[in-house]
């Protein structure tokens, strides 16, 4: 077992404008683990001043699909994926881990702000340690990741301050010049 390492966490983001509204999509397949992940995510979102809704799905494979369905509406600025996959005796573990992770990655690359809190562990003990909201708090970490991406998206999508060119269609005619030409 590896030694415990210290990790740096970013300070919570500050939202100058409207506080974001997030969707937490959770698979309660392992209910007690899911409850701990959810407690951490809810605390992190609430601490930032943001709000959230919760949607439950049967398993980890359905999480990216639910997020994609919800993203068709303009109701949410970010998403938090929560669940747990514990290695079993078959290769199903590999399929579920890879496909749920790939689905979330694709959604992120399409521009959705999301935090991945789907635990992929070898055993129940590892899951309990990572889900504990008073310990590793991976649910809170996933919520923080979504919040940071929302803040980053807001920063990158702010209107420019007049630097650069604008299309001719945006030019406004201000007045006629004395020679008959138009000033813009």
Residue 93 burial class via C-beta count within 10 angstroms: exposed 0-12, middle 13-18, buried 19 and up: middle
Q: Mean pLDDT across the stretch 43-49?
A: 96
Q: What is the Cα–Cα distance from 51 to 61, expressed in whole angstroms?
A: 25
User: Does residue 79 form part of some domain?
Assistant: yes
* pTM metric for this prediction: 0.83
Residue 36 confidence (pLDDT):
98
- Of the ranges 32-41, 65-74, 145-154, 162-171, which one carries the lowest mean pLDDT score? 162-171
Is residue 44 included in any domain, yes or no? yes
Residue 9 lies in a domain: no
What is the model's pLDDT at position 104?
98
Q: Report pLDDT for 1.
A: 47
Residue 32: CATH number of its domain? 3.40.50.960
Residue 54: closest CA among 89, 80, 33: 80
7, part of any domain: no
Chain centre to alpha carbon of residue 133: 18
- Answer yes or no: is 166 within a domain: yes
* Cα(22)–Cα(54) distance, integer angstroms: 9
Where does the pLDDT of residue 6 fall: very low under 50, low under 70, confident under 90, or very high at 90 and above? confident
Q: Which residue has the higher pLDDT, 157 or 43?
A: 43
Instruction: Indicate if the pLDDT at residue 179 is higher than 70.
Output: no
Q: Which of 3, 53, 55 has its CA nearest to residue 27? A: 55
| Band (158; pLDDT cuts 50, 70, 90) | confident
Angle subtended by helix axes 138-156 and 124-131, to nearest 10: 50
Q: Report the Cα 114 to chain-centroid distance in Å.
A: 2
Residue 5 falls inside a structural domain: no
**Contacts of 115 by beta carbon, 8 Å cutoff, 6+ apart:** 78, 79, 80, 81, 141, 142, 143, 144, 145, 146, 147, 149
Domain span at residue 106?
Answer: 21-179
Give the catalytic positions in this structure: 92
Report yes or no on 8 lying in a domain: no
Residue 31 lies in a domain: yes
Q: Which helix (H) or strand (E) holds 98?
A: helix 92-109
How many domains, the chain? 1
């Amino acid at each position: 077992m590896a030694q415990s390492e210290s990790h740096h966490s970013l300070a919570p983001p500050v939202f100058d404008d409207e506080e974001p509204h997030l969707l937490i999509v959770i698979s309660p397949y392992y209910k007690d683990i899911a409850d701990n992940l959810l407690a951490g995510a809810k605390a992190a979102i609430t601490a930032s001043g943001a709000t959230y809704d919760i949607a439950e799905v049967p398993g980890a494979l359905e999480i990216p699909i639910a997020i994609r369905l919800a993203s068709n509406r303009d109701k949410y600025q970010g998403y938090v994926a929560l669940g747990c996959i514990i290695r079993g005796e078959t290769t199903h573990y590999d399929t579920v881990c890879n496909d749920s992770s790939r689905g979330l990655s694709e959604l992120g690359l399409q521009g959705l702000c999301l935090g991945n809190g789907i635990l992929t562990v070898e055993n129940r003990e590892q899951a309990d340690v990572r889900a504990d909201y008073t310990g590793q708090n991976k649910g809170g970490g996933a919520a923080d990741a979504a919040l940071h991406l929302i803040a980053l998206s807001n920063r990158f999508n702010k209107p420019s301050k007049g630097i650069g060119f604008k299309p001719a269609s945006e030019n406004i005619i201000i007045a006629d010049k004395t020679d008959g030409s138009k000033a813009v």
